Structures are given as C-alpha cells and as structure tokens.
Amino acid sequence: MTYTVHEIFHTLQGEGANSGRSAVFVRFAGCNLWSGREQDRDTATCRFCDTEFRKGARYSLAELIAEILTFEGPKLVVFTGGEPALQLDQPLVDELHRCYGYEVAIETNGTQAIPDVQWTCVSPKAGTQIVVRQADELKLVFPQGPGLTPEHAMSVIEAKHLWLSPMDGPQWAENVKAAIDYVKSDSRWRLNIQAHKFWGIR
C-alpha cells in the first residue's frame, strides 16, 4: 500500500472541539466529490471547497510514519483532504496509535467507510449518500439549501458535537448571520470559526 499525500505540516487545529490543539496534519490528495480543477467546479457534487489537494508525493506506510515522526511534540495526527477515507487504512492508524501513542483523527465527508480512529469529524455535503453515521463531531457547512439542513444532517449522523460553519464566498456575511440566527434558535448547535485563518497559520 502506498499513499499519495499533498502535504504534511505541524500546526494548531483551527476548528471544532480540538481548536487550538497542536497537531500534525496529513492532507491526502484526491476527492470523490470534486476533481479539484476549477473548470469542473460547477458540475461537482461539492462546489464550495477552498482546499488544494490535487497533487502529491507517494509514501509507503513506513515512509509516511517516519515523516510524521519528524515533528516533535504533537500527539494528534489529523488526516484530511480532499477525502482521506479514500486512502487512510487500519494498518496506518494502528501503527500510529498503538506503536507511537498518537491520537488519530479524520476529517471526512462521510461518503466512504473509515477505519477505527480515535476522533471522527464528518462534514456532509448535499446530494451524497452518507455511510459514516456516528462521529465525534458533525461540522455542517451552512447553508446548503433544502437538500441538507441541520435537522436532516442530525437525522443521518449521530455526533457529540454539532457545528455550523458559515459557507465562504461572496455571501459570507449573510451566511454568518444565518448561522448565528440558527444557533440562537437551536442551542444544540454551535458556531464554528476557522480560527487558523485569524491566527495566520495553515
């Protein structure tokens, strides 16, 4: 098994319940909801992604772990993408967790089965079939229209923490207000902020 990785870096988690925590981020290349090419955005299932994930270097399991180990200090590894569930497997998770004591987290769109990790964040997208039905965090980019409301997301995914993340773009200010209004009306949800952008880090 080899893994195609767009980038690996040490930063602070900028979102959700682990916000502010030191972590190694491993961003896998590839996604099943968008090619990553701008010319394909209008026909993609997910049209609002703001992440570059198209190209990457190949690593064996041993090479990837060795690269993660070069960062001293963090005990959390976050696998993200693109869509990390297309590549993340149980041998890699087990090696990091059992042999090196890392807590392994995944940030996924929920459309692919995932290995047994220690922390799961699902960010569902409208028009997809969700197979990951339990998570530590449900992070809903909001609003996505009638196809994926907060109530619908909750009915599909059982999660301990519920976050509304205002959709970026030209309507961002309106989306922030809509998310705030929704959280005020339903206290089960909290407003998610991409704090790393304010901190000036990745």
Buried b / exposed e along 8-18 (16+ C-beta atoms within 10 A): bebbbbbbbbb
Instruction: Locate 24 and state its tokens.
Output: 């190694």
Q: Residue 105: what pLDDT? A: 98
- Please state, in angstroms and rounded to a whole number, the distance separating the CA atoms of residues 186 and 108: 24
Is residue 181 flagged as an active site residue? Answer: no
What is the full per-residue pLDDT of the chain (202 aa) written as tens digits? 899 999 999 999 999 999 999 999 999 999 999 999 999 999 998 988 888 899 999 999 999 999 999 999 999 999 999 999 999 999 999 999 999 999 999 999 999 999 999 999 999 999 999 999 999 999 999 999 898 999 999 999 999 999 999 999 899 999 999 999 999 999 999 999 889 988 999 8
Please indicate whether residue 50 is annotated as part of the active site: yes
Task: Give the pLDDT of residue 202.
Answer: 86
Decide if 10 is catalytic. Answer: no
Q: In terms of C-beta density within 10 A (0-12 exposed, 13-18 middle, 19 or more buried), how is residue 181 classed?
A: exposed
Q: Which of 48, 51, 174, 186 is catalytic?
A: 51
Give the list of residues 6+ apart from residue 190 with CB closer than 8 angstroms, or none: 161, 162, 163, 164, 183
pLDDT at 111: 98
25 is catalytic: yes
Contact by Cβ (8 Å): 167, 144: yes
List the catalytic residue out of 15, 107, 136, 137.
107
| 46, 83, 120, 136: the active-site residue | 46
Q: Is 38 a catalytic residue?
A: no
Q: 98 is in which domain, residue-wise? A: 2-199
How many other CB atoms are there within 10 angstroms of residue 166's CB atom? 22
pLDDT at residue 51, rounded to an integer: 86
**51 catalytic, yes or no?**
yes
Active-site residue 107, yes or no?
yes
Catalytic residue, chosen from 10, 152, 161, 196, is: 196
The pLDDT score that the predictor gives to residue 85 is: 98
Q: Are 189 and 166 in contact (CB under 8 A)?
A: no
202/74 Cα distance (integer angstroms): 15
Q: What is the CATH number of the domain that holds 22?
A: 3.20.20.70
Contact of 164 with 149, CB cutoff 8 Å: no
Given 25, 28, 53, 79, the catalytic residue: 25
Does residue 121 carry a catalytic annotation? no
Look at the chain and report how many structural domains it folds into. 1
pTM of the model: 0.95
Active-site choice (38, 42, 50, 72): 50
Looking at residue 1, its pLDDT comes to 82
